[in-house]
Chain A
Amino acid sequence: MVKRIASLILSILWMLTCVSRATIDDAYSFAMEAAHPYVKEGFAVRSDYWGGDLPVKRTKAIVHQLFKGNEYWFWMGSDTQAAKISVHVYDSDGNLAEVEAWQKPHMAAARVIPKRTGSYYLMVEIEKSPEERTHWSLVYGFR
């Protein structure tokens, strides 16, 4: 009996872990989907990514190295279709560095042409969402 209960608990935990992974996967897929049209424009999209989950109105900062001479797009996706999300890029002095940005349902993006090589801050936010915590993922490409 004890074994059965233990195995049931383990199964539930395993499933929860997998569901969590699945939602990150989906957020990643939507970020990649947002990136798709830009490949034709010559952007090389990295398969590496950032991701996690955030409550509404909570911002997360990601420090990232950018090189002057490249042009970058950052694409963000979420698995929550009703979510409104955003990504904005700031330089190390805190100045808004992006030259263009857009928001669509559960996707957002920002384009940067770095004025100098160095550290940049990618600020991701879940602006609105029906979920308590919303999964997100961020990918980038360069040319």
Chain B
Amino acid sequence: MKEIILIKNGELALKGQNRSNFEDILIKNIRRRLKSLGKLNIRKAQSTIYLEPAEEDYDFEEALQRVSLIFGIAGFSRACVCEKSMEDILSKAGVYLKSTMENIKTFKVEAKRADKNFPLTSPEICREMGGKILSYFPHLKVDVHNPDIVVYVEIRDFAAYIRAQQLHGAGGLPVGTAGTASILISGGIDSPVAAWTMAKRGLRLNAIHFASPPYTSARAEMKVKTLLSKVARYSGTINLAIVPFTEIQDQIAEHCPEDYFTLIMRRMMMRISEKIARDSGSLALITGESLGQVASQTLPALVSTDSVVNMPVLRPLIGMDKEEIISISRNIDTFETSILPYEDCCTVFTPKHPKTRPTLELCENAEKGLDIDNLIEKAISETVYTYID
């Protein structure tokens, strides 16, 4: 029995003139994400995308799994392909619906007749199908108001379909429709969640990671790559820049007052990130900051870090509690990796009593001893780039 995947795109329907552009990007993303599974025909009709495997032993379950992670898809379903005759539809229904219908009590049938040449009207299709299902599965009852499951019969121009289960898509907008931004990723719980959240709104991702060997290790870098590869299941390929940061941290520790260590470090990171982001085509930075979570994430601290960049800094987690963030990180399967206990650049040289209410002036004073331009230039020139799939 031949099966296909039917995709309903969510917000896309709202996007007016741009709609077909959005749809094209979504289809491109789907094609790219399913490419390694084998030959697949993709067809677009009446705000539905049809994915039709063109190979005998196509891994259909894996395809469903991958589709469930693609942004820009509100819901999708698997459907059985039938000939456009009532006999074929009714005979396939029994086998195709067996496993679904065995575990429920009530159902109803809805029919959609896009091809008006089909000899039966929609109510007639419903009646015939309903009767047939009741004869196949005598334990079922029809409930038109609150059924456990709705069985859809669709008569399209090219074929007829039976489907019974609507699956939730990842929602959001297709990656790439909103442009590109760069996520600052340390290896903690927050940044992968922030990256995922913004990819969900259609952003393509670049990533920037600061490494401070020997304070941080090769394993910490591997951890960041693992985290990004988990985000990439949703966002597609991510271009990662690894910036050597040891010298800057050493210089900060040597020349700046201790209570300003973290703040000045953040300011240096933002300056470097802005340059790298611009060079790689990003229009904004993304961080995993959440208001008041740590000393460097108080409002005055954010003011002082924002003041060094001329690019929007997107902070999707700013109003979230740690619990909410952790819950998303579990859902997108980054939590277990995030809590691996390796030092990251943010935990080196943590001041005992960090400044929570810095003023801009004091920050600027505190970093006077640094040769900022040279340090930044050197760090950028030694930055290494890799692609994460």
Query: A and B: real partners?
Result: no
B residues contacting A by CB (< 8 A) are none
